[in-house]
Amino acid sequence: MSFTVYGKPVGKQRPKFARKYGSVMTYTPKETVNYENLVKISYPGGVKLEGAIAANIRGYFAIPKSVSKKQRERMLAGEVKYTKKIDSDNLAKSILDALNHLAYDDDSQVCCLTVSKQYAEIERVEVKLREI
């Protein structure tokens, strides 16, 4: 099962807390909720995976406009790695949590996970899932 989530990759953010009517409420930040909904819409559906799952997640990030043409070519060729925010684990968390009850029963089924980040012309996340 392979699919692509187009748009700027968003990592899972920490929960936020707010005081309301004398008690503390916990909520998920709006940006995280919106991105997880985009992942759900991008998922092609079909068969729900069962058992152990291997996941490969590749995040593609925009090249800064300020870099030289030569540096840009190096970034696109993979010679310069993407080492900025977002963290790889937060990227994986946002994708895997969004697919709960959609691609599989629970993301605890994912026992083999590969996450990578790199520069590209078009921002996106490519996801490959398979039963192992």
* Per-residue pLDDT tens over the stretch 3-28: 999 999 998 877 778 887 888 877 67
Question: Which pLDDT belongs to residue 72?
Answer: 92
57, two tokens: 């997640």
Question: For the residues 53-64, what does the mean pLDDT come to?
Answer: 95
Structural domain for 23, as ranges: 2-131
| C-alpha–C-alpha distance, residues 56 and 130, integer Å | 9
Encoding tokens for residue 74?
Answer: 């190096």
The token pair at 54 is 């291997």
What CATH code is carried by the domain that includes residue 119?
Answer: 3.30.1330.70
Q: Is the pTM of this model over 0.75?
A: yes
Domain count across the chain:
1
Determine the number of helices (DSSP H) and then strands (DSSP E) in the chain. Answer: 3, 6
